[in-house]
Structure 1
Amino acid sequence: MTSTHSAAAPPQTTVKVADKDVRRIANAAFVGTALEWYDYYLFGTASALVFSRLFFSSLDPTAGVLASLATFGVGFAARPIGAFIFGVLGDRIGRRPTLIMTIVLIGVATGLIGLLPTYAVAGLWAPALLVIVRLLQGLAVGGEWGGATTMAIEHAPAKKRARYAALVQIGSPVGTLLSSGAFALVLLLPSATFDAWGWRIPFLLAFPMLLIALFIRLKVEESPVFEELLKSDQREKVPALKVFTKAGGRLLVAVAAAFLGVGGFYVMNTFVVSYVANNLGLDKQIAVNATLVAAVVQIVVIVLFGRIAEKIGPGRVTMIGGLATAVAAWPLFWLIDTRSPLAITLAVAIGIALLTVTYAVTGALLTELFPAQLRYSGVSLGYNIAGALSGFLPLIAAGVISATGATTATPAVVILVIISLITAVGGFIGEKLRVKDDTAVESA
């Protein structure tokens, strides 16, 4: 028997959870998400700095950079597929077993990149294998974040959802710190040593990190909300399909609300790293160091606006962050085009801080757009469709600059403004659509 509840009329459940248990669940979700984003950001940095030379060396330098960024984007194309597959599993067999599957696949896929042969060794097999592993990464990420956020939210008291959802989001800057820090260290090696084997070290570190994350995640209990769904037999047969047929409008709002937090980051991170190194001709370490500073700022912003969202609503916070980023887009890239290391660092830190205002509350907003029986699927699809749409933004920006011979980053400015305004609209509508009482979770 399947549920006939619509997205606007979710089943009512009442669950009591101790605050210490909620924190433990949120921490477990954070650890898994940190590994997820370590792996994903690592690939983005390597796409800008390494892969164009070692895996696409038969192409001219510009074409190599574009091919490398295209490979980076391929992972995003796979994310909605992963969201569909793991969303069905998460809403049918449970949040916990699905999250264990996704974290294992992410860690193994990332570690394997550190073992791949380069073009000089394997010819065309090298980029082909890189694309395959990237696709596996994308599939796994498609189900990881949505599940981790759903798990944290479904254990949290209703009035504290935003802060626990924000804790999951801290995995993003921590993943950035770990990946950028790992690359910053190996970049200290001589260029020949870095190209020979140094670049592999950050990827190989994914294996021991996976063991730690898996150990922590195996101790996590199933979501009490999902257990209630099991008892009442209110699960959908194909929940991800039901999202499209019964909650399509909410899905569009979710995609819009998540657009800036995902796409904006890759404009201000992956594109800027590539732009600084390849277009401005500056030391690539400048951009990498800038992302480290930005990641620290990001943590503060996430904690702050997670709390603010509890007072004014995550939709309003999303709208404010989108409008602020749109206004700041041109000044930020003007600073980058000055070629000053200090100005570049300031621009990246401010830009990522502004878009993080929306990212901090993405989990809280998206989980309140869908009822429990569709939540894993709805959150995962909304977030990862946004990821698929935005994953090629660094490639588009770099391609337009190359094709037009532009001497500034104007294409990136236009892209950032557009996605910022889309997210502002998504936040405005999302605040009106929030389902605030679908699960009455109380502190014990």
Structure 2
Amino acid sequence: MSEQSHPTPPSPVAADHDPDYAANLRRATLSSSVGSALEYFDFAMYGLMTALVFNKLFFDQSNPGIALIAAFGIYGVGFAARPFGGLFFGTIGDRIGRRWVLIATIILMGGSSTLIGVLPTYESVGALAPVLLVLLRLLQGFGAGAEQAGATVLMAEYAPVRRRGFFSALPFIGIQAGTLLAAFAFFLLNLLPEEQFMAWGWRLPFLSSILLILIALWIRARLRETPTFVVLEKHEQVAHHPIREIFTTGRAGVVVGIGLRMAENGGSYLFQSVALAFVTSTAIGLDRGIVTWGVSLGSLIGIFSVPFTGALSDRFGRVPVYRAGAVFMLVFSFPAWYLLTVGSHAVAIAVIAIGIGVAVNTMLGPQCALLPEMFGNRHRYLGVAMSREISAVLAGGLAGVIGASLLDWTDYNWVVMGLYMATLAAITTSATFLVPETRARDLLRREDAVRLSTTEKDTAYADAEPSPTLAAQKEA
């Protein structure tokens, strides 16, 4: 393989002067960002629709409380499929490369989302309606199970070492953009008369997913394989059995990765969906269209806070910045849910915006580089996928079901929701003490960082001479 075919990150100083590498870094950033935007547009839209639309259109309305729980149950089904998708596509990504997996996942994930827009409702086909919704959510989740892991690994392996935190966080602006786009689309849809919105308006955002799919496919078809995987292929070190490795040598990293994600992922979906269901219920009675602006404002803040905290992790380390976000959510949990009960639109918008934009995204920023740095090169894709998607089930997927159940069982008591969120934050805070600092870790190392002694230090920066890793990449 020639250097022209697979441009690799040169030394930190030379990176800015290598046009071929710079072009591929931009392409990788754009490719990952569009995929992230599509995934989170779909999931944010589904979360909004679950709390306010799907529970009414796809289920028997004789018991509205049960219908809401069932709707969030199907919301969780998509998360249940994600670990299997992560396992399947993560294995392929570690065996044949990152690029082709990202093409497959965007087709599967986006196609399923588009088809949701043409589903018949309960009134039309009865019990078949939720069955079809479950099927598409399973396919959507299966594809999404490797999408974010692939974007995370792709950018970490392309980014300049000194600025890996910042560059790895850039594609995750797509998460904020997708969420912001979903909230804005939902706001516009709410301008429709209620009858038209419930009849056909809710379908439009899902049908529009086809546009993002086409854009992402065009970009990813031109994407080149990552430098670290090229080196693995050159030295014939590609793992033939990454599943075996991840459940033996990589198990500790996966467990810690799951813990790190509990507050970030769970908190995100609690603020985006359960909090909306809470404040728009008859117990609080706020207007759904107005409160949705809290999600929009939080996502707008995230466009800046995610790369900012990623850059902070380049300077101060991944772990301190991540821990700061987890502790903030821990402290914020009870005041946040209490303030949601006061019945003020402005207060509810502020709480949701701070929860998403500050608490959640202060963890997401450093996480973009931290998770790939935690795993060795032979099973990095699978390790990141398993960490992300198992936690997505335990935190994000169950957040809606547990949250809706707690609200129904306790007559919308804010204390139990504060306790639930605080528990997730406490788990993540504890997990930050189990991972060593990974900033600037050599991504060609085959061992996982979590298996190392916390006193062992990785080589930080090679200021005088190119590192052996970079030399090997250059040779490839």
Q: Which residue in 2 is equivalent to 1:8?
A: none
Q: Which amino acid aligns with 1:169?
A: F
Q: Which residue in 1 is equivalent to 2:339?
A: 335
Q: Which amino acid aligns with 2:207?
A: L
Shift of 1:397: 1.8
Q: 1:441 to 1:328 in 2, by over 3 A?
A: farther
Q: 1:435 to 1:15 in 2, by over 3 A?
A: closer
Q: Which residue in 2 is equivalent to 1:219?
A: 222
Q: 1:59 to 1:152 in 2, by over 3 A?
A: farther
Shift of 1:285: 1.1
SS in 2 for 1:222: coil
Matched, 1:402 2:408: yes
Q: Which residue in 2 is equivalent to 1:244?
A: 247
Matched, 1:393 2:399: yes
Alpha-carbon displacement from aligned partner over 1:124-165 (angstroms, at most 9, x marks no partner): 110000001001111111110001111111111211111111
- Contact between 1:397 and 1:412, CA under 8 Å: does it hold in 2? yes
Shift of 1:58: 4.2
Q: Which amino acid aligns with 1:398?
A: A
SS in 1 for 2:240: coil
* Of 239-248 and 361-370, the range deviating more from structure 2: 239-248
Bigger Rg, which one: 2
* Of 105-114 and 348-357, the range deviating more from structure 2: 348-357
The whole-number CA distance in structure 1 between the counterparts of 2:129 and 2:65 is: 19
Q: Which amino acid aligns with 1:367?
A: P
Q: Which residue in 2 is equivalent to 1:254?
A: 257
Q: 1:316 to 1:431 in 2, by over 3 A?
A: farther
Q: Which residue in 2 is equivalent to 1:286?
A: 290
Shift of 1:416: 1.1
Q: 1:145 to 1:441 in 2, by over 3 A?
A: farther
- Structure 1 unmatched runs, 5+: 1-13
The whole-number CA distance in structure 1 between the counterparts of 2:261 and 2:62 is: 35
The whole-number CA distance in structure 1 between the counterparts of 2:253 and 2:140 is: 27
Q: Which amino acid aligns with 1:399?
A: S
Matched, 1:315 2:319: yes
Q: Which amino acid aligns with 2:435?
A: G
Q: Which residue in 1 is equivalent to 2:71?
A: 68
TM-score (normalised: structure 2):
0.87
The whole-number CA distance in structure 1 between the counterparts of 2:414 and 2:76 is: 20
Matched, 1:138 2:141: yes
Q: 1:373 to 1:196 in 2, by over 3 A?
A: same
Shift of 1:268: 1.0
The structure 2 residue matched to 1:367, chosen from 357, 360, 372, is 372
* Of 117-126 and 395-404, the range deviating more from structure 2: 395-404
SS in 1 for 2:436: helix
CA RMSD, 1 decimal: 1.7
Identity fraction in percent: 35
Q: Which residue in 2 is equivalent to 1:201?
A: 204
- Structure 2 unmatched runs, 5+: 1-7, 16-20, 445-468
- Contact between 1:151 and 1:223, CA under 8 Å: does it hold in 2? yes
How do 1:1-80 residues align onto structure 2 when only pairs under 5 Å count? Answer: 15-16=9-10, 18-80=21-83
Matched, 1:354 2:359: yes
Shift of 1:441: 5.0
How do 1:142-157 residues align onto structure 2 when only pairs under 5 Å count? Answer: 142-157=145-160
The whole-number CA distance in structure 1 between the counterparts of 2:30 and 2:56 is: 38
* Of 432-441 and 80-89, the range deviating more from structure 2: 432-441
Shift of 1:39: 1.2
Matched, 1:104 2:107: yes
Shift of 1:287: 2.4
The whole-number CA distance in structure 2 between the counterparts of 1:403 and 1:63 is: 11
- Contact between 2:309 and 2:362, CA under 8 Å: does it hold in 1? yes
- Contact between 1:277 and 1:283, CA under 8 Å: does it hold in 2? yes
SS in 2 for 1:392: helix
SS in 2 for 1:56: coil
* Of 354-363 and 274-283, the range deviating more from structure 2: 274-283
The structure 2 residue matched to 1:124, chosen from 103, 123, 127, is 127
How do 1:268-287 residues align onto structure 2 when only pairs under 5 Å count? Answer: 268-278=271-281, 279-287=283-291
Q: Greater relative contact order: 1 or 2 (C-alpha under 8 angstroms, separation 6 or more)?
A: 1
Shift of 1:218: 1.3
Q: Which residue in 2 is equivalent to 1:266?
A: 269
Shift of 1:230: 1.1
The structure 1 residue matched to 2:385, chosen from 380, 388, 397, is 380
Alpha-carbon displacement from aligned partner over 1:99-124 (angstroms, at most 9, x marks no partner): 00001111100000000000111111
Alpha-carbon displacement from aligned partner over 1:14-50 (angstroms, at most 9, x marks no partner): 8536334323211211111111111111111111111
Q: Which amino acid aligns with 1:402?
A: D
Q: Which residue in 1 is equivalent to 2:423?
A: 418
Shift of 1:301: 0.9
SS in 2 for 1:282: coil
* Of 95-104 and 420-429, the range deviating more from structure 2: 420-429
* Of 74-83 and 395-404, the range deviating more from structure 2: 395-404
SS in 2 for 1:199: helix
The whole-number CA distance in structure 1 between the counterparts of 2:440 and 2:241 is: 22
Q: Which residue in 2 is equivalent to 1:10?
A: none
Q: Which amino acid aligns with 1:170?
A: I
The whole-number CA distance in structure 2 between the counterparts of 1:189 and 1:431 is: 52
